[in-house]
């Protein structure tokens, strides 16, 4: 840990040192972060960012899905957005502003109450809006940025700004935009849909539960779907359902899910990821791309 990081007296009182990330990720694995901060307000977040050494790496996490933190932990600061204000505001009949810490399922339900659509698909995205914005997450044929109008960001200097959608290059499960900025809110434009019903979301959640290992430690989908195909189908065709390395196992319910079973380490999960990629490449010639992000250091022997 750098000298700048060890000056604890300069940090806010709610900054934790050497915080185990296994308590903050849906895979329930991950070593310690040098600094771990859960701001309660954007103004507190801005102040924290301004006081950080400019060369200190910063990582962001919401509900901890779609992230694998290695066993050696994270050098630098981790900012967790789950304590930030959760707000959904109807700006006009078709536009909704939502803060980054709102769970996607909660956003879906509120939009359906507003009779706006298509928004119900957000109920199929694990995690919060901030993470969904960062990777253009999607479910049931919809994607986060399909109906996005503008985003609000914060940078390393703690400065806030609004950016239009065209400031970003958007692809399948990818978002490329200004460096060293992170999403704190977004405004969406939907259409009025008088037929929208909460039962639609209930049906989607039921369908998700029937086809995915909900309630077990995982990150959601591990790999992106290749063009014209499905990662889960390729993994299953390679005979990898139930494949195991240590405490990490490929779900027998949906092959694009890796579960933490029997106290897996992050190293087990990462090794199983590479085994899946190599086997699918050998069997089908397809190179699977990660949807999950892998961060942190490998644990030293």
Q: Which sequence positions are flagged as catalytic?
A: 173, 221, 291
Cα separation, 155 vs 157, in Å, equals 5
End-to-end CA distance of the chain: 18
Do the beta carbons of residue 271 and residue 244 sit within 8 Å?
no
Q: How many helices (H) and strands (E) does the chain have?
A: 7, 20
250-287 per-residue burial string, b: 16 or more CB within 10 A, e: under 16: bbebbbbbbbbeeebbbbbbbebbebbbebbeeebebe
Do the beta carbons of residue 177 and residue 169 sit within 8 Å?
yes
Q: How many CB atoms neighbour CB 289 within 10 A? A: 14
């Amino acid at each position: 840990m750098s000298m700048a990081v060890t000056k604890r007296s300069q940090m806010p009182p709610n900054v934790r040192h050497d915080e185990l990330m296994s308590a903050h990720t849906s895979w329930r694995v991950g070593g310690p972060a040098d600094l771990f901060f859960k701001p309660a307000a954007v103004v507190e977040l801005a102040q924290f960012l301004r006081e950080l050494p400019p060369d200190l790496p910063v990582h962001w996490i919401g509900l901890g899905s779609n992230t694998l933190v290695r066993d050696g932990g994270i050098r630098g600061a981790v900012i967790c957005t789950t304590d930030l204000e959760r707000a959904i505001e109807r700006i006009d009949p078709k536009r909704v502003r939502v803060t980054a810490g709102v769970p996607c399922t909660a956003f879906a339900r509120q939009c359906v109450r507003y009779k706006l659509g298509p928004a119900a698909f957000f109920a199929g995205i694990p995690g919060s809006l901030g993470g969904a914005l960062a990777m253009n997450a999607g479910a049931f044929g919809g994607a986060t940025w399909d109906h996005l109008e503008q985003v609000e960001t914060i940078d390393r200097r703690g400065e806030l700004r609004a950016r239009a959608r065209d400031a970003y290059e958007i692809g399948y499960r990818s978002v490329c935009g200004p460096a060293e900025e992170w999403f704190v809110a977004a405004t969406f434009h939907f259409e009025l849909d008088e037929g929208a019903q909460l039962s639609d979301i209930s049906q989607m959640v039921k369908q998700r539960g029937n086809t995915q290992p909900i309630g077990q430690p995982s990150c959601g989908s591990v790999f992106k779907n290749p063009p014209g195909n499905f990662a889960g189908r390729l993994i299953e065709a390679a005979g990898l359902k139930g494949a195991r390395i240590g405490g990490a196992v490929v779900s027998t319910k949906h092959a694009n899910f890796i579960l933490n079973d029997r106290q897996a380490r992050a190293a087990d999960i990462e090794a199983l990821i590479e085994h899946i990629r190599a086997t699918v490449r050998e069997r089908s010639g397809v190179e699977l791309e990660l949807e999950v992000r892998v961060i942190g250091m490998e644990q030293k022997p």
